[in-house]
């Protein structure tokens, strides 16, 4: 055997293996255009509104190919994405988390435990408040980030709530809470107390629509339990057993008007949907909820519900309780955009939240004429007693 080759065969073997590895190495994808186009197409088909669905998927180009990462609560949309990638013969590493997250260890349901919980666009108190949820609202829990939880309310709206705002529950705990007898708080504002007197220590504040577990009746007070287990007393004059309240809902335009006027003067709050502060659609949402109907969160969602009453400014067609929508009208180059909503009261007046909750008029000669909104009027819709997919009735759906 050749002396040189014998003593250097290790070097030649290493060189041969290195050459084979290099020749078999997969080049990194040139760009993400094709795969991003597929993700975009699937998103448009399955997730028309990211306010109510999670499909945060992205593709990363690496030295070994594509890595698809992100999270979603839409298994069917994810399956559609995978099928499309397969049909396009695109290979990838799957790093997508299907929510709810396994790190929640089964605590994928919850109930809002404070009078009003602020839900934000990101897991931070500095992030924009996108909506609110009131005490007793059942929520789906999707994931945790630090001390924050990503949740979804019965109207399907998504947001992040800090851990102090929600009582996490597993399936059995959620079932037990849901099957318990409830009480709904019917005053605009108030308190619960540690004893059967309003001179006792305050346990917490309460607002319109708060729902608690009803434990017992004791004289002039209801004994209640919060979603986190603490107990308190509420004056009977300020609350009603939930089932009794449901059975007495009139579903009338007069009831809507009466409820709306109880909120006069409440300040405008971006993202607000409670008596502590409301934006325009949060106001209409609260009014309808206290009358047994859960509407979609935003004006741009509410405008798609109900039946069309008017779109020309003929306010004689309207009846109290109809919703008026305002915003940017469609042009040849821009789409219509509903950015404001109010509720018709009759007598050429409507009530809405802008600065605060107040009454404005469509009569140009009236002292409270609202020229700004008159000029950007889009249309009016009748919501009361209408059966649409986006309208939930507490008398028909077992929500609470």
Catalytic residue numbers? 280, 340, 352
CA–CA gap between residue 320 and residue 45 (Å, rounded):
37
DSSP secondary structure string for all residues of 66-113: EEEEEEES-HHHHHHHHHHHHHTT--EEEEEEESSPGGGTT--EEEE-
CA–CA gap between residue 183 and residue 225 (Å, rounded):
10
10 φ, ψ (degrees, to nearest 5) = -65, -40
CA angle 344, 396, 131 (to 5 degrees): 55
- Pairing assessment for the beta strands 65-72 and 92-98 based on DSSP bridges: parallel
- Considering only CA atoms, which of 298, 293, 292 is closest in space to residue 271? 298
* 42: helix, strand or coil: helix
Residue 53 CB neighbours (<10 A): 17
Per DSSP, helices labelled H in 223-361 are 242-247, 253-261, 280-289, 299-302
DSSP category for residue 369: B
CA–CA gap between residue 292 and residue 252 (Å, rounded):
11
């Amino acid at each position: 055997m050749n002396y040189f080759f014998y003593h250097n065969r290790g070097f030649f073997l290493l060189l041969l293996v290195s050459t084979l590895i290099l020749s078999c190495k997969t080049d990194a994808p040139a760009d993400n255009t094709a795969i991003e186009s597929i993700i975009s197409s699937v998103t448009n088909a399955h997730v028309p509104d990211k306010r109510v669905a999670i499909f945060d998927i992205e593709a990363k180009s690496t030295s070994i190919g594509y890595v698809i990462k992100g999270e979603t609560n839409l298994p069917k949309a994810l399956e559609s994405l995978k099928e499309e990638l397969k049909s396009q013969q695109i290979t990838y590493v799957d790093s997508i988390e299907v929510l709810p997250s396994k790190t929640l260890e089964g605590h994928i349901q919850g109930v809002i435990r404070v009078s009003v919980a602020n839900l934000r666009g990101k897991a931070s108190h500095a992030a924009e408040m996108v909506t609110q949820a009131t005490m007793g609202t059942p929520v789906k829990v999707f994931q945790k980030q630090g001390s924050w939880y990503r949740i979804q309310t019965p109207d399907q709206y998504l947001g992040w709530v800090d851990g102090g705002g929600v009582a996490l529950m597993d399936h059995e705990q959620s079932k037990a809470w849901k099957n318990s007898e409830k009480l709904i708080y019917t005053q605009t504002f108030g308190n619960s107390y540690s004893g059967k007197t309003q001179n006792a220590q305050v346990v917490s504040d309460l607002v319109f629509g708060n729902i608690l577990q009803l434990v017992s009746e004791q004289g002039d007070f209801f004994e209640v339990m919060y979603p986190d287990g603490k107990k308190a007393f509420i004056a009977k004059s300020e609350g009603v057993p939930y089932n009794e309240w449901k059975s007495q809902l009139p579903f009338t335009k007069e009831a809507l008007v009466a409820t709306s006027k109880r909120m006069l003067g409440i300040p405008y709050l971006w993202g607000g949907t409670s008596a502590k502060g409301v934006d325009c659609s949060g106001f209409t949402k609260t009014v309808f909820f206290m009358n047994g109907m859960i509407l979609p969160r935003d004006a741009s969602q509410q405008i798609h519900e109900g039946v069309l009453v008017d779109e020309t400014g003929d306010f004689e067609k309207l009846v109290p309780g109809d919703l008026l929508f305002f915003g940017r009208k469609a042009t040849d180059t821009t789409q219509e955009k509903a950015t404001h909503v109010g509720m018709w009261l009759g007598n050429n007046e409507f009530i809405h939240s802008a600065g605060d909750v107040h009454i404005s008029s469509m009569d140009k000669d009236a002292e409270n004429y609202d020229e700004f909104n008159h000029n950007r009027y889009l249309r009016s819709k009748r919501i009361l007693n209408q059966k649409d997919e986006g309208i939930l009735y507490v008398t028909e759906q077992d929500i609470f």
